[in-house]
Structure 1
Amino acid sequence: MLHRFLVAGLMLVSFAGFSAGVCKAEIADINVANKPGISKTKPSEGPAIEIDGGFMVPYTQIIPGTDLTFEMIPIPAGSFQLGSPDAEPDRSDDEGPQVKVNVAPMWVAKTEVTWAQYEEFMSLYSAFKTFESDGVRMVDDGNKVDAITAPTELYDSSFTYEYGNEPDQAAVSMTQYASQQFTKWLSKITGLQYRLPTEAEWEYAARGGTTTAFYWGDDPDQADQFAWFFDNAGEGQKQVGLLKPNGFGLHDMLGNVAEWTVNQHTENYNDLKAKEPLGATDAGVWPEMGTECVVRGGHWADDVAALRCAARLVSDDEAWKEEDPNFPLSPWWFTSDPARGVGFRLFRSYQPLSSETIQKFWEPTAEDVIEDVESRIFSGRSGRGLVDPELPSALKELEG
């Protein structure tokens, strides 16, 4: 497919109580010792987090083999209370008790993953099929740890794309598993660990240093300045980054599309409460079944209450795949609403995670999802392929 250019301008961001522009000249200093997002010197403007030997700073990541880019913003370490206080209006029973969580520094994507980026990932399905038929870049027991499955072609694109698939619109309707595979693909071709967040990491990033119901405060009447939701969105997700960011410089953390976390839904936070204080990455609750996983942030068709930083949406595979004619049901796509309000965002830890831990972020842990994927692979209905730094060159050769 033709690669489309995603404009990733250096927009004004708000951080730690001040607004500042990120200068191109200073971003040029980011690739210090091949570590994107690390600068030896502190930029004169914009967010910068001091670390040993330098500073975490914003950086623009090019997706290898394409002209597509996305921007990552450094988020400082800190502590916060996961969940809602009992006195907060509209609190659901599954949002408490509050748990003290310590968060390590990380980078978070300025915006949600867009169709331009996700459709590049989707195009791997046909490429992997061609590699397989040509007998090149074959997956075997010795290298399958470096393999992913690409999303199958859409059963009904008119459903998924009804509200548009413009390059800068947030991508929607993918499963948690598909979004995990996207992050693994991106990680393997860039050499950096991109992944989904735990619930705790997501909520910390969304709050942007605040303790209020929304990251702009407690007043729902201000929501239309910061978030797309039922009252102002019309129908469908919007171009990312149009409204005001939160205190960390992140756009659309609330509203537009809700965002996947890695967590299985729990009735409450009692189990985490027993371990407090705990690290935000350690607050991952690895799914034992593919349904009832946690989506955060609210979406364009939600009322404002569903946009609160602590609000949780629980996935429902049966209902969200109601129109899927496949058996087993697709591990990659949803076919029913509210799936068109669900997308995801990229996170990256400052300190790389262990191989064992990062695999939990990239691969399914739920037995039913594992079985569904293996069934598709066994029957030849999956596009599976190796992902490594050589993949972009192999794709170029395939395109001729």
Structure 2
Amino acid sequence: MNKRLNLFLLLSGLLSMIAGCSEESFNSDTTGSGDIRFDIGFTSAARVATDAEFESTWEKGDAIGIFAYDANNNLVLNNAKVTYDGSEWNSSDGLYWKGKTLKFYAYYPYDATVSDPADITFQVKSDQSGTTGEDNDKQSNYSLSDLMTATNTQGLSVGSTVSLSFKHEFVMIQVEVPAQALGKGLGASENMTVSLKGVQTGATLNLTSENTPIVQTKTETGNVKMYLTGKPGTDGYNNYTYRAVIPVQTLQGGSDLFLISNEGVLYKGSGPDAELELQAEKAVIFTRSLPNDIKNLHRVLIPAGKFMMGDAESIYASMKPVHEVTLSHDFYMTKYEITNAQYAAFLNATGVGEDGKGQVSYPDGKGNEQTEEQALIKIDTDGVNYENGTWKPQDGKDDFPVINVTWYGAKAYADWVGGSLPTDAQWEYACRAGTTTTYSFGDDSNELGTYAWFSYNSGRKTHEVGTKAPNSWGLYDMHGNVNEWCADWFDYYSDDAVTDPTGPATGSFRIARGGSYTGNPQMCSSAYRLNRKPDEINTTYGFRVVFLP
């Protein structure tokens, strides 16, 4: 029952207007000579339920509203609901001929509140990626935003089949975002969302005007979250493809039209180069690429809040006493531990030589910032290597966590990408993700292997980041894989409640968190702390980065 769109008009390489003709028939057969029979189809194939080839289908649960008038313009069908059950169209009330001849007016999607066919108000859904309805009766908001009309005013007589060919009164906007080969934790991802910015979202419909239905776009504007209809390599799609349906309107040239949120980073995408008048029954296609920026790391928003820090049951004094901590500001934390590929890019961009030494700045404890050369990293068979003047990940280790990195090396990278190392408190708060248990998933260490690479399952080596389950806030490898450097100098806790703690101004040891591939279950707990010299180089040490919103 699908028909394929048959006309493409390319515009400026990035834009395409799509139009075409198709017709689909769905008969609703009922018993009794007075029953009304319908033949329902489309005049255009740019239907909401479309695949990469723009093939068109009705969906189960689609419902239309029908008005009918007799020869004397008496209303005999008043917003009758007709629903598609997946194979045919039916009305739960039964529809019968009332009069010798009838004229029919129909619209989609059905709205039970409509009482006057000459004055229908319609609003597209602001989140067309979502659904409306209960579990067993959900409908796509994308579909429910596609206003369509159909009329048959020939004055059909009793027993005639009522043909209704629906016309799309709105326009479909599509944007394609190409995938990027930047490695794990960078580039466009399947979690990306795209919204239309500041578009007109409502319209009024006069379904029974003399010649043809009249649709007038309302002036109010808003943002519309688009529907992800395809991912690269699936069902014929080459890019991440998003669609939305909006009323006919004029897009201004050179203005921002798209808001693209990708793993905690917000981008703006322009609309057409010049003013563009949209047309009903057609679609406009854009291609917008994310910048190939190796600093735009995938990140997770961590909300401000309070928690109890430490572990009263621990045998280690460094984890006690438990005390209340308030983090007064939201922050972002990288979704994954920093990888070999990401760190190698930093080393090359900053001109670090084979000795692994580079410049790093940090507070001197006296209110000043000091900059000096320090060892940042050491070559390792599971980490990065230096060949022919270039730093590279070891073969097959691009997406493994960087190791043999000193605290100075972690700090220098965090500065370079515009972030910082997490404080001791930020790290534990993010790891716990609202829990008070030993681990972010509970107290049972038998479940640790689901979330962590540690001594029992790692084979005493690092593993690709993000291959175990994340915590409930979407952070991977907070338990195990590598210990993660934090910003603070080490000190013992007090039992005082604190707000936004950053540790002492000076010290001898920096804090590391999370446990590693060599650690036992206790070392991988949410509260466990290590303290190490900042220049220590160890195959179990890596890090992640935090950013302020």
TM-score where L is the length of structure 2: 0.43
Task: Tell whether 2:427 aligns with 1:202.
Answer: yes
Letter aligned with residue 244 of structure 1: A
Higher helix share: 1
Alignment partner, residue 301 of structure 2: 74
Cα 1:60–1:239 change in 2 (3 A) is: farther
1:240 CA drift (Å): 0.6
Give the Cα–Cα distance (whole angstroms) in 2 for the partners of residues 263 and 9 of structure 1: 27
Q: Of 402, 411, 420, which residue of structure 2 is paired with 1:180?
A: 411
Alpha-carbon offset, residue 146 of structure 1: 11
Larger RCO: 1 or 2 (CA < 8 Å, sep 6+): 1
Work out the CA distance in 1 between the residues paired with 2:224 and 2:407: 37
Read off the aligned partner of 1:59 and give its amino acid letter.
G
Alignment size in residue pairs: 270
Structure 1 residues 149 and 5, CA, compared in 2 at 3 Å: closer, same or farther? farther
> Structure 1: which amino acid aligns with 2:542?
G
Q: 1:306 aligns with which of 511, 517, 523?
A: 523
Q: If each structure's strand is expressed as a fraction of its own residues, which one has the higher value?
A: 2
SS at match of 1:231: coil
- 2:319 is aligned to 95
1:241-300: CA deviation from partner (whole Å, max 9, x where unpaired): 11111011100011011111111222x202xx34x2x223x33333433xx211000000
Distance 1:176 1:213 in 2: 26
- Report the 3-state secondary structure (helix = DSSP H, G, I; strand = E; otherwise coil) of the residue aligned with 2:299: strand
Q: CA deviation at 1:149?
A: 5.5
Q: Does 1:84 align with 2:311?
A: yes
- Quote the Cα distance in structure 1 between the aligned partners of 2:351 and 2:186: 31
Compute the RMSD of aligned alpha carbons: 3.9
Match of residue 22, structure 1, among 151, 172, 191: 191
Matched, 1:231 2:477: no
* One-letter amino acid matched to 1:283: T
Residues in 2 aligned to 1:24 and 1:256: alpha-carbon distance in whole angstroms: 30
SS of match in other structure, 1:283: coil
Matched residue, 2:532: 315
Instruction: Report the CA distance between 1:60 and its aligned residue.
Output: 4.4
Q: One-letter code of the match for 1:341?
A: T
Q: Alpha-carbon deviations, 1:52-89, whole Å to 9, x = none?
A: xx9x984248998755752111111110011112xx2x
The structural deviation recorded for 1:168 is: 0.5
Does structure 1 residue 284 correspond to structure 2 residue 284?
no
Which residue number corresponds to residue 341 of structure 1? 540
Equivalent residue letter for 2:505: W
Q: Summarize the Cα distance change of 1:293–1:23 in structure 2 as closer, same or farther, 3 Å threshold.
A: closer
For the 8 Å contact 1:148–1:185, the answer to whether it is kept is no
Determine the C-alpha separation between the residues in 2 that align with 1:41 and 1:253. 35
Alignment TM-score, normalising by the size of structure 1: 0.58
Sequence identity (%): 25
Say if 2:186 and 2:294, in contact at 8 Å, map to a contact too: no
Q: Distance in 2 between matches of 1:344 and 1:95?
A: 20
Q: Structure 1 pair 25/223, CA: closer, same or farther in 2 (3 Å)? A: same
Give a deviation string over 1:302-352, Cα, whole Å, max 9, x none.
1111011000112146xxxxxxxxxxxxx5x72xxxx111110110123xx
Structure 1 gaps of 5+ residues are 13-20, 30-39, 46-53, 130-144, 188-193, 318-330, 351-400
Give the AA of the match of 1:181: A
- Aligned residue type for 2:543: F
Correspondence 1:210-229 to 2 at 5 A: 210-229=435-454
What's the secondary structure of 1:294's corresponding residue?
A: strand
2:219 is aligned to: none
